[in-house]
């Protein structure tokens, strides 16, 4: 690959971890309601489970509440009802910086880099909470540069001058410098060229092999279903359906449900 190191092992590494039901639940949304500005309701009783070392996909039409679900998990939005549980701890309403300290990182859909800083400086910002441990910072940077060789080549380049795909690699690298247990990804391939998108999906699919649990919000339904162990379908901030990758492959009801708001059927 031109942008990152080849992943170890065969494609579909998360399947090697066993089935969905066998995995421990590490993060849950339980009947979560959330609103913007107090009265613009977005989530209306959403419940979902995130399993350890698995990829949990979230799909749905525009306005379904997918991105809001991630923002609420991460503390950008406080639930008005329901709870969010990390391990055995209720973390509802905890601020985002508290989530990072608990091993959860977030890559938003919109670009979040400091364009006037170099690639390396953007990555160093991800190391902020252990910035005084210089040895740990340098080790974290070298680990990310090993995962994304293209970033090592451009470590002194201003982030704003990179291509959209390269900027996304910087954002992924910044999320990984803290060695997270869980990473939340919101539309990671939005507005990215198809070749780079394939590399990003390969990278995401391999993360569970490294002990990283993934929650993936995606408009690319086909790819989301292909890489996810479990997929939740949202509509109007509610659960409309769910199923494993295997269930999506043969359940006509799930296919028809998705086809209502897509221009194509899932094959």
More confident residue, 6 or 145: 145
How many residues are listed for the chain in this entry?
A: 267
* Reported confidence tier of residue 261, pLDDT bands at 50, 70, 90: low
Contacts 24+ apart (CB under 8 A), 260-265: 261/60, 261/61, 262/221
Query: What was the pLDDT predicted at 73?
Result: 96
Task: Kindly indicate the confidence band of residue 24, based on its pLDDT and cuts at 50, 70 and 90.
Answer: very high
What are the tokens at 120? Answer: 């390396």
What is the C-alpha separation between 199 and 196, in angstroms, rounded? 5
Q: Pick the range with the lowest mean pLDDT from 163-167, 198-202, 211-215, 245-249.
A: 245-249
State pLDDT tens for residues 149-162.
999 999 999 999 99
Encode pLDDT of 80-121 as tens digits: 999 999 999 999 989 998 998 899 999 999 888 999 999 999
Average confidence (pLDDT) over 138-144 = 96
What torsion do the CA atoms of 265, 187, 77, 84 make, to the nearest 10 degrees? 70
- 224-253: average pLDDT: 90
Go through the domains of the chain in sequence order and give each one's CATH number.
1-103+181-267 (3.40.50.300), 112-179 (no CATH)
pTM of structure? 0.88
**Residue 109: closest CA among 69, 49, 157:** 69
Higher pLDDT pick, 52 / 62: 52
pLDDT at site 262: 62
Can you give the pLDDT at residue 101?
Answer: 87
150 close to 170: Cβ distance less than 8 angstroms: no
β-strands 230-235, 55-59 pairing: parallel
Q: At residue 177, does pLDDT exceed 90?
A: yes
Beta bridge partners of 90: 85
Three-class secondary structure assignment of the chain: CCCCCCCCCCCCHHHHHCCCCCCCEEEEEEEEEEEECCCEEEEEEEEEEEECCCEEEEECCCCCCHHHHHHHHHCCCCCCEEEEEECCEECCCCCHHHHHHCCEEEECCCCCCCCCCEHHHHHHHCCHHHCCCHHHHHHHHHHHHHHCHHHHHCCCCEHHHCCHHHHHHHHHHHHHCCCCCEEEEECCCCCCCHHHHHHHHHHHHHHHHHCCEEEEECCCHHHHHHHCCEEEEEECCEEEEEEEHHHHHHCHHHHHHHHCCCCCCCC
Q: What is the pLDDT of residue 144?
A: 96
Structure tokens at 93: 């309403």
Q: What is the model's pLDDT at position 18?
A: 60
When pLDDT is averaged across residues 49-73 and rounded to a whole number, the result is: 95
For residues 264 and 156, the model is more confident at 156
Q: How far apart are CA 226 and CA 138, in angstroms?
A: 35
Query: What mean pLDDT is predicted for residues 27-42?
Result: 90
In the chain, % of residues over pLDDT 70: 90
Confidence category of residue 1, pLDDT binned at 50, 70, 90: very low
- pLDDT-derived band at 129 (thresholds 50, 70, 90) equals confident
Dist. CA 39–CA 36, nearest whole Å = 6
Q: Is the pLDDT of residue 20 over 90?
A: no
Cα separation, 73 vs 27, in Å, equals: 9
| CA distance linking residue 169 with residue 203, whole number of Å | 10
Higher pLDDT, 6 or 169: 169
Mean residue pLDDT across the chain: 88
């Amino acid at each position: 690959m031109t942008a990152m190191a080849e992943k170890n092992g065969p494609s579909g590494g998360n399947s090697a971890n066993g089935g969905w039901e066998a995995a421990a639940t590490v993060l849950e949304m339980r009947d979560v309601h959330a609103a913007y500005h107090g009265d613009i309701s977005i989530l209306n009783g959403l419940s979902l489970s995130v399993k350890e070392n698995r990829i949990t996909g979230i799909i749905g039409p525009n306005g379904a509440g997918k991105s809001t679900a991630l923002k609420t998990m991460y503390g950008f939005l406080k639930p008005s009802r329901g709870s969010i549980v990390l391990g055995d701890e209720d973390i509802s309403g905890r601020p985002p910086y508290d989530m990072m300290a608990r091993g959860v990182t977030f890559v938003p859909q919109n670009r979040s880099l400091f364009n006037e800083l170099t690639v390396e400086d953007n990555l160093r910002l991800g190391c902020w909470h252990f910035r005084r441990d210089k040895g740990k910072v340098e080790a974290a940077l070298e680990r990310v540069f090993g995962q994304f060789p293209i970033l090592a080549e451009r470590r002194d380049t201003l982030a704003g001058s990179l291509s959209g795909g390269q900027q996304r690699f910087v954002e992924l690298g910044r999320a990984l410098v803290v060695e997270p247990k869980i990473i939340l990804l919101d539309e990671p391939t939005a507005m990215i060229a198809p070749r780079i998108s394939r590399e990003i999906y390969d990278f995401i699919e391999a993360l569970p092999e490294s002990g990283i649990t993934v929650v993936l919000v995606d408009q690319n339904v086909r790819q989301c279903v292909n890489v996810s162990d479990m997929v939740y379908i949202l509509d109007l901030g509610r659960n409309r359906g769910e199923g494993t990758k295997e269930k999506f492959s043969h359940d006509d009801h799930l296919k028809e449900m998705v086809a209502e708001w897509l221009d194509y059927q899932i094959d």
